[in-house]
Amino acid sequence: MSTSLVSASLDRPVDECLRLMEQHRIYHLLVLEASGDARQRYRGMISISDVLRVMALDEKSRADLLKAFAFERTPPH
Amino acid sequence: MTLQDAIGSRTDVYAVSESLTVHQAARYLRERQVRAVGVVDEHGRVVGVLSQSDISDKIAAENVCPDWTRVAEMRRS
């Protein structure tokens, strides 16, 4: 069990989380959520593959949008 | 894109108590098909992270009995 806890809050950008994992050479982060009484609630773990998956999906949707814009427009008459 | 997007609508939060035996914790990881889980103390505070590699390195490789060892005994900094 590792007790050097590396955590991130829910509003942390995913690319920062990736850098954090890289810096600490770890594959999982604790996810914490601020709760009303200044404490932080444990929301589970996020793995490096979870982070990479959403980043890849985000890049793909951007690429699809660009592709649709560039190649699928009806040519003007 | 933030951790909230990566976590999505995940509703299950997995954690093990540090009073569980390593055998019980290993079964917990296997049943839920996760590689790491938060470890909580008797007050529900997160005190560590237990991963499959911890179990492999500290228990299996050291020939320690997982049924006689508590998760709390696996603390390392």
Amino acid at A69: F
Contacts of B55 in chain A (CB under 8 A): none
Q: Please enumerate in sequence order all residues whose Cβ is within 8 A of that of B23, keeping only pairs 6 or more positions apart, or say none.
A: B66, B67
ipTM: 0.78
- CATH number of the domain encompassing residue A55: 3.10.580.10
Please give the residue range of the domain that contains residue A63.
7-71
Residue A19, in any domain of the structure: yes
Residue B77 reports pLDDT greater than 60: no
- In the prediction, which pLDDT does A73 show? 72
What is the domain count for chain A?
1
Tell me A74's DSSP state.
P
Residue A77 is assigned to a structural domain of this protein: no
Low-confidence ranges of chain A (pLDDT < 70): 36-38, 74-77
DSSP A19-30: HHHHHHT-SEEE
pLDDT at B9: 76
Q: Does A51 fall in a domain?
A: yes
**pLDDT at site A38:** 65
Two structure tokens written together for B75:
């603390």
Kindly tell me if the per-residue pLDDT of B70 is higher than 90.
Answer: yes
CB-CB neighbours of B65 under 10 Å: 10
CA distances, B69 to each of B20, B66, B74 (Å): 9, 5, 8
CB-based contact (8 Å) between B13 and chain A? yes
pLDDT confidence of residue B64: 94
Give per-residue pLDDT as tens, B7-53. Answer: 877 888 999 999 999 999 999 999 999 999 999 999 988 999 999 99
CATH fold label, B14-74: CBS-domain (3.10.580)
Q: Which residue from B5, B15, B49 is facing A1, i.e. has the nearest CB?
A: B49
| pLDDT at position A34 | 78
**Per the domain annotation, does A49 fall within a domain?**
yes
DSSP sequence for chain B: -BHHHHHTT-----EEETTSBHHHHHHHHHHHT-SEEEEE-TTS-EEEEEEHHHHIIIIITTT--TTT-BGGGG-B-
Is B21 exposed, middle or buried, given 0-12, 13-18 or 19+ CB atoms closer than 10 A? middle
Break chain B into its structural domains and give their ranges: 14-74
Contact list in A for residue B6 (CB cut-off 8 A) is 14, 17, 46, 50-51, 53-54
B2–A4: do the CB atoms touch at under 8 Å? no
B33 near A CB under 8 A: no
| Chain A residues near residue B3 by CB distance under 8 angstroms | 8-12, 14, 17, 31, 46
